[in-house]
Amino acid sequence: MIPSPQSLATVSGTALAALAAGYTTLAGIALRRPANPGRLLARQPGREALRAVTILKPLCGAEHGLYERLRSFCEQRYPDFQIVFGVRDPGDPALTAVRQLQRDFPALDLEVAADPSQHGTNAKVSNLINMMPHARHDYLVIADSDVQVPRDYLERVIAPLADEGVGIVTCPYRGVPRPGLWSLLGSMFVNEWFMPSVRVAALLGSRELAFGATIALRRESLERIGGFAALANRLADDYALGELTRQRGLTTVLSGLEVETSVDEAGAGGLLRHVLRWLRTIRAVCRASLSACRSRFWVQPSRAAPPSRWRCSRSRHRRES
């Protein structure tokens, strides 16, 4: 007996509702579980074993709240760290906030790398390449300009690197909207869809994760993949960094620490452009890596996309140049 269209519609609707309910339940479980239970949490070193760290901060332009977000990195409860701020233009308005930080924290090692040299097609990676000669330490943290962190941030993201099998440590993040409907919608995209999907992917065993909000790694691991030059022509540079370290047998750790990122969307047009760019990034990554596509339902390629920040290829929610 051939089922009627009404019966098919009922069965299909029930199946879709069951799938949605199942995913929602799984996401709820994932959000309540530790990001990395087990051996990595047990092997964190004491404070006396924490290594000196260089934080790399690529900047481009004056963003709302930039000083406060950069200040959160200066206020770390960590024994020895350096921050290198990178710009292409010595007159970049982002340096106003940096100069104020240098006055407010004279005891900290805060350095500016201003260099217009272009390496490949990715402007952010060019900035990082130009910053590396200023990096004095062998433990590196790359963090986008719109990220704000708690005072124990460095200690928590560096600790898993004591395990030599770890390639990178990356942080989940929460979008904090600026006033306005479009910023709110952009933050909802991050908080209500993207990050739960990341947690579900991690729960199911995926480690194809790397977010520009934070990537921590050892200099030796970076050199093994060919340095930042290996990313110079890659669109999703943060995803590529994780991918290249995993290809060398190193593990990606999703930290249990969630950082905050600012979401600032002026209108519907900007939000739409950013989402379209994100979808193009997914397409580009999927063309290059079939394995990346297998988990694409759950996880987007690098945080190279959700709405907000694409201008100058500076940071996590990269704005279009």
pTM score over 0.75: yes
- What contacts 232, CB < 8 A, 6 or more positions away? 119, 120, 121, 122, 125, 126, 129
DSSP 2: P
Sheet with 173-177: list strands edge to edge. Answer: 147-148, 259-263, 173-177
SS (H, E, C) 100-112: HHHHHCCCCEEEE
Average pLDDT, the chain: 82
By the 8 A CB rule, do 209 and 167 touch? no
Q: Could you read off the pLDDT of 200-212 as tens digits, one per residue?
A: 776 776 677 888 8
Cβ–Cβ < 8 Å for 250, 217: no
Which residues on adjacent β-strands are paired with residue 83? 55, 110
pLDDT score, position 101: 98
For residue 217, give the DSSP letter: E
Q: Is the pLDDT of residue 222 over 50?
A: yes
pLDDT level of residue 81 (50, 70, 90 thresholds): very high
User: Any idea of the CA torsion for 210, 146, 88, 138, to the nearest 10 degrees?
Assistant: -50
pLDDT at residue 220 tops 60: yes
pLDDT tens digits for 50-66? 899 999 999 999 888 99
pLDDT at 210: 86
pLDDT in tens, 267-305: 888 888 877 876 777 676 665 554 444 444 444 443 444
Q: Is 267 exposed, middle or buried (0-12, 13-18, 19+ CB in 10 A)?
A: exposed
**Averaged pLDDT, 80-105:** 97
Q: Does the pLDDT value for residue 114 go beyond 90?
A: yes
Reported as a pLDDT band with limits 50, 70 and 90, residue 236 is: confident
Determine how many CB atoms are found less than 10 A away from the CB of residue 41.
Answer: 14
Give me the helix-helix angle, 5-32 and 195-203, nearest 10°.
80
Mean pLDDT of 83-108: 97
List helix spans (H) across the chain: 5-32, 39-42, 66-74, 94-104, 123-131, 153-158, 181-188, 195-203, 219-224, 237-247, 268-288, 290-294
Structure tokens at 36: 């990395």
